[in-house]
Amino acid sequence: MLDNKKICVVMPGYNAENTVQKTYDEIPKDIVDDIILVDDGSKDRTAEVARSLGVHTIVHPRNRGYGGNQKTCYTEALKRGADIVVMLHPDYQYTPKLIPALTSCISSGVYDIALGSRILGKSALQGGMPLYKFVANRVLTAVENILVDHRLSEYHTGYRAFSREVLLTLPLEENDDDFVFDNQMLVQAIHFGFRIGEVSCPTRYETDSSSISFARSVRYGFGVLETAAQLRLTRMGLLHPRFLSPEGRKLTLPTGPSSQAAESRS
């Protein structure tokens, strides 16, 4: 726990057999109360390795996509009573050693969301980020900051921490099940007025680090621009997308005494 808040780390996993243990070993167990891995239909031993480490493991019988995986991650974390949820990729691309910094941003009451930024500190290229991805990151972030009228160093990091309130409030079930889910989630947070902080985070691109193809990167880029444009049009009263509506579908938690007890913690 940190500041009497239950900390849960969720790992959306896919073919991460070779890196799960390295990631797990660096998680600071002194403050992390719960660790969950959701295996999105991997073709390797990701789930088996996670279970051998004592990690609470869920397996999707078929691949639901990166966004669909996160929906399961957050639902399970909330169901298990988490106050702060950290998303950490099990491919060892982001260092788990920054979990205390990310969670303290939220447990202190200063922010509702904390992001591990690869751009702050200028370590992205040194850590092996491909040049085309770096350039795309900077261009998309600049355009998005203009469209959504915000100032983040990047919208594309996969290292994030959220308060329980954020995960219960955002209509996450309206979001895409693919990679643009990440971007939609931040645009939702901005739209609903949540406070977002950033922590400088080194990154490492290794052989086993997950990566999407160039074609999917292009599709993601167009999805990012569409998401930002939708927020701008919503503010102008010209569009009313479900993913930006307070009435949009939210994560569904089981009802009952245990669920009510967990909810009383938030």
Quick: pLDDT tens for 136-182. 889 999 999 999 999 999 999 999 999 999 999 999 999 999 999 99
Which of the four pLDDT bands, split at 50, 70 and 90, describes residue 83?
A: very high
Q: Which CATH architecture has domain 7-244?
A: Alpha-Beta Complex (3.90)
Q: What is the pLDDT of residue 141?
A: 95
Do 238 and 129 touch, CB atoms closer than 8 A?
no
The more confident residue out of 65 and 125 is: 65
**% of residues, the chain, pLDDT over 70:** 91
Predicted local distance difference test score (pLDDT) of residue 210: 58
Query: Which amino acid is present at 76?
Result: E
The mean pLDDT value for 203-213 works out to 67
259 pLDDT higher than 50: no
CA nearest to 212, candidates 99, 67, 72: 67
pLDDT of residue 209: 58
Report CA-CA distances (Å) from 222 to 100, 128, 143, 233.
Answer: 34, 24, 12, 16
Check whether 207 has a pLDDT greater than 80: no
d(CA 176, CA 228): 14
Extended strands (E) in 112-203: 113-117, 160-163, 196-200
Question: Does residue 5 surpass a pLDDT of 90?
Answer: yes
Instruction: Report the SS3 class of residue 21.
Output: helix
- pLDDT of 81 strictly over 80: yes
Entry pTM: 0.91
Residue 114 has pLDDT above 50, yes or no: yes
